[in-house]
């Protein structure tokens, strides 16, 4: 694959029906520097695992979800929430 960054913005990898799938396989990621999977449940998708095994840097979707939530909370309330509290709450909720 000829790419510096690979972004998954599809439901492939999401908990449930698509969890055991990835948009590409690890051997197809040679040369890719960063894989960003916007899926946040599960926090570590098959794509992320295969990317790490192929030597790629990775980012998961939970960071984006929490980042968006922080900004929305600030817009609606005028207060800045604790990033750690929001991350902990999201992880707790997603583990159910």
Domain with 87 in it: 5-94
Q: Per-residue confidence at 1, pLDDT binned at 50, 70, 90?
A: confident
Q: The domain that contains 37 carries what CATH number?
A: 3.40.50.720
Q: Per-residue confidence at 12, pLDDT binned at 50, 70, 90?
A: very high
47 φ/ψ sector (left φ>0, alpha ψ -120 to 50, else beta): alpha
Residue 76: predicted pLDDT: 98
Structural domains in the chain (count): 1
Average pLDDT, the chain: 96
In whole angstroms, give the CA distance from residue 69 to residue 90: 10
Are 6 and 26 in contact by the 8 Å Cβ rule? The answer is: no
In whole angstroms, give the CA distance from residue 87 to residue 29: 29
């Amino acid at each position: 694959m000829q790419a510096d960054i690979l972004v998954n913005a599809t439901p492939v990898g999401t908990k449930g029906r698509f969890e055991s799938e990835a948009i590409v396989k690890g051997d197809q990621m040679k040369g890719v520097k960063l894989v960003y999977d916007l899926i946040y449940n599960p926090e570590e998708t098959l794509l992320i695992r295969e990317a790490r095994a192929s030597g790629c840097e990775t980012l998961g979707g939970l960071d984006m979800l929490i980042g968006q939530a922080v900004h929305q909370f600030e817009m609606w309330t005028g207060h800045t929430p604790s990033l750690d509290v929001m991350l902990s709450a999201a992880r707790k909720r997603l583990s159910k």
